[in-house]
Each structure stands twice: as C-alpha cells, then as structure tokens.
Amino acid sequence: MAAGECRKKLSTTYIMVAVIAQIVLGILASSLSLVADGTRAFSDHLELFRYDRSAVPSKRFIEIITVAVSSIIIFVISIIFLLTASSRASSLDFDINLLFLSIGTAISLATNTVQMIGHFHAWRSDPVYSLSIYVKTHRSRVLHGVLYHILAYSILVSSILIIISKNFLIADCVTTYLISSLIITNVAATSIKCYQEYFSLEIARDEYESL
C-alpha cells in the first residue's frame, strides 16, 4: 500500500474513533459544544469524500445518495444544536462535568490538528491544475484550512473558561453556535459537490474528466 494511502486510512480510522469518543464524552459531560464539535469533525471528513468516478452508474448513485442523506441529517442536527444552545443559554440550567470536558477537549484539539495536517498533505500531493482553477481552489482551501480550523480551536477557549469558573457556562452555548456555523459551511460544500456529481452521472463513463 502506498504511504499516502496508508496515512489516509490511519487518519480516517482515527477521526471515526475520535468522533465517537467526543460525542460520548460530550453527552457524559453534558457539554453541547463537545457533541457539536464531534459532529463537526465528521462533517469536515465527509466533505473530503472522494467519489469513485470509474464505478458503474448504479454504484455511483448509491455513493451520491449516501453522502446526500448524511448531509441532510448533519444539517438537521446542526439546527437542533442551535435551538438547544439557545434554550440552554436562556435558562443556564445545566452543569458540566469538568473531567469529561477536559478529556473531550483534548481529543477535539488532536482531531482538529490531524485534519489540518491532512489538508496540507492533500494540497501538496494534488496534481497541478490549470492556473485559474488552481488559484481559485487554492484560495478557498487556504481559507478553509486556516480560518475554519483556527475557529474550531475555540472549544479550547470555552473549556478553559468553564474550568476556571462555572460562571462562564454560557461559553458552551456560544461555542456551540460557532461550531454549528462551521458544520453548515461543511454541509454547503458537500451538497454542492454532491449536486455536481449527480449531474455528471448522465455523462457517458468514457467522457468523465480524468482525476
């Protein structure tokens, strides 16, 4: 197996385990931001889904439908996060377990770092496109890789605030808002890609653009 492929598999396995751990710890800690961040890590991973354009149309259709349904579910969940964060912010009637919050935050920071490093590796190994496309995608990729993932580190700030004093419980709601917005950017990008793949289904297989 090529080194790049092996690394990709390892990071996929790590991200899946980390997503489950983060969601479980988030529920145990009663931290909505932690649960939201686990979902964010998954939606960011889903955005990188590579469609197999050489597969037969029926298999490609299943791939597209699976990604589309997952995106819809993630979108609905992000709306639930926003509504729940609002109701929790208005009452502040919840408590957060600091031990589970600390462990979950540590996993979140590690996952976010793995994803960021993964993006930079993928960019370097990408084929050179025509200049206009390259510049265009390169810019949006830098925006995602730097801005998105720096914003995702905000969970560290909110967790530290909550650990310092329970008076900062509101930070959990604010971070949930921010993370839900990041999830929506992932869902938007995944949906656009999914839509494009769906319409390329109608093109005969030998006319697919080469990857």
| Contact flag: residue 37 with Zn ion (CB under 5 A) | no
We find the least distance from the C-beta atom of residue 126 to Zn ion, in angstroms, to be 15
Buried b (16+ CB within 10 A) or exposed e, 20-30: ebbbebbeebb
Query: Residue 40 — left, alpha, or beta (φ > 0 → left; ψ -120 to 50 → alpha)?
Result: alpha
| Stretch near Zn ion under the rule CB under 5 A, chosen from 56-64, 89-97, 111-119, 187-195 | 111-119
Nearer to Zn ion, 112 or 158 (CB): 112
| Stretch near Zn ion under the rule CB under 5 A, chosen from 6-14, 44-52, 55-63, 99-107 | 44-52
- The per-residue DSSP string of 100-136 comes to HHHHHHHHHHHHHHHHHHHHHHHHHHSPP--HHHHHH
We find the least distance from the C-beta atom of residue 125 to Zn ion, in angstroms, to be 16
Residue in the structure block whose two tokens are 């197996």: 1
Size of the site for Zn ion (CB under 5 A): 2
Task: Please state, in angstroms and rounded to a whole number, the distance separating the CA atoms of residues 195 and 202.
Answer: 12
Nearer to Zn ion, 37 or 44 (CB): 44
| Stretch near Zn ion under the rule CB under 5 A, chosen from 16-24, 25-33, 42-50, 135-143 | 42-50
We find the least distance from the C-beta atom of residue 44 to Zn ion, in angstroms, to be 4
Chain residue whose CB lies nearest Zn ion: 44
Cα angle 15-16-19, degrees, rounded to a multiple of 5: 80
Nearer to Zn ion, 162 or 194 (CB): 194
Nearer to Zn ion, 17 or 142 (CB): 142
The distance from CA 188 to its chain's CA centroid, rounded to whole angstroms, is 12
We find the least distance from the C-beta atom of residue 115 to Zn ion, in angstroms, to be 5
At 96, the amino acid letter reads I
Nearer to Zn ion, 11 or 33 (CB): 11
From the list 159, 67, 43, the residue with the least C-alpha distance to 104 is 159
Task: Please state, in angstroms and rounded to a whole number, the distance separating the CA atoms of residues 17 and 4.
Answer: 20
| Stretch near Zn ion under the rule CB under 5 A, chosen from 100-108, 113-121, 126-134, 159-167 | 113-121
- Interface with Zn ion (CB under 5 A), residue from 37, 44, 172, 197: 44
By the criterion CB under 5 A, which residues form the site for Zn ion?
A: 44, 115
